[in-house]
Amino acid sequence: MATIEKNPPTDSKAARQAALKYLRSVGISGAEKASRAFPYIEGGEVSLEATAWALIALRHEREIALAGLQYLAQSQNSADGGWSTRPGAGRSDWTSGPALLAMRILHDLYQSDIDAASSKALNRGLSYLLDSRVEFYGPTARLALLFSKGPAGLEYGRGWPWDPKCFHWLEPTAYCLLALKLPTTAAGNADQRAIIKFADRFILEHSCRDGGWNHGNDLSLGVYLPAYRLTTAEALLALQAHAAAESGQGGEAHLQNDRLKKIAAGLNFLQTQTEEDSSSLSLAASILALSAYDRPFQAELAYLLKRQADNGSFGPTVMSTALAAIALEADQPGSEQGLVLKTSKS
């Protein structure tokens, strides 16, 4: 549990600046003397997850952002273009989603400063993400589905796993969808647009009976599983509309209607948690999700502000502080900064 400050700031702008100062202090510097990478906990080893979210939080600090972008490019696995939980940990995994999300956001902000190596790394990361989804059916089974059900038989929901060749789960799928949808939808062909659509569908198919989302399935062994605050917020962020979203016309109209109903149910569930003082991470994610859909988040914000420690952190993990700093941007009137995890359509 985070250390609670005796006199926590009530000003979200001041709280955010304190959080950013803390992030700068725990960054691991490279040869350029800028914070290139970040640990999971202060003083620990580099974590790609923490690095990605901290770089997004610090994205307007040019020196850190560019050094971090270079670090992400250098830590990319040469074999397949993905990223591991930490450099040298082995095969690429779910951290490829947050890493690519950070790269795309930074690449968009500093286009004139991007070198060829970073651009190549971004494109390789995108290719890895598109190729690393879960696929339960082999070529023969897919052919059988095509013959028995027509093209619709192949349009089943597919997401991303924590580790390669495992079951798809909500959180890695949400991270990967955000990486494909932000800051703008990744340009691409019909296959890329279909991958986004099927990942959206996977999340929608697993919404809980009373609204919201669990970590994976909504039903197990005949028992309906409960929704959780953090996973619901992550799902809602990932389900934001995008430039290639279904228009709601023709045969896709019923899919769009189902999407809107489940998003509304998820938002309603999230708002039932308003008076729950949960973790900094879930509060920050809730603020971001509610803000993305233009819902009020002042109660969540008040709880989050009370969780800031004297050193500016929001808990023992660097990711919690990074996500809190990003969430606090949503409370900056007239600032476009608060839209970093919001698509142009929602």
Residue 228 lies in a domain: no
Residue 158 lies in a domain: no
Span 167-213, pLDDT tens digits: 778 999 999 999 999 887 665 667 788 889 889 999 999 999 999 99
Residue 255 lies in a domain: no
Q: Which of 54, 86, 80 is nearest to 69 (CA)?
A: 54
Residue 70 lies in a domain: yes
- Exposure string of 23-49, with b = 16+ CB inside 10 Å and e = fewer, is bbebbeeeeeebbbbbbbeeeeebbbb
Average pLDDT over residues 84-99: 91
- Bridge partner residues of 207 (DSSP): 213
* Cα dihedral 204/101/47/131 (nearest 10): 70
With 80 as the cut, is the pLDDT of residue 59 above it?
Answer: yes
pTM, entire model: 0.88
Helix (H, G, I), strand (E, B) or coil at 111: helix
CB atoms < 10 A from the CB of 63, how many?
12
Residue 118 lies in a domain: yes
Residue 83 lies in a domain: yes
- Return the structure tokens found at 195: 């991958």
Span 279-333, pLDDT tens digits: 999 999 999 999 999 999 999 999 999 999 999 999 999 999 999 999 999 998 6
Tokens 């879930």 belong to which residue? 282
Q: How far is CA 134 from CA 80, 126, 165, 201, 252, in A?
A: 16, 16, 6, 14, 24
Residue 45 lies in a domain: yes
Q: Which of 270, 269, 246, 273 is nearest to 258 (CA)?
A: 246
Q: What is the pLDDT of residue 186?
A: 61
Q: Which domain holds residue 61?
A: 31-132
Span 198-207, pLDDT tens digits: 899 999 999 9
Question: For residues 69 and 106, is the Cβ–Cβ distance under 8 A?
Answer: yes
Q: What is the pLDDT of residue 60?
A: 95
Question: For residues 340 and 326, is the Cβ–Cβ distance under 8 A?
Answer: yes
Domain count, the chain: 1
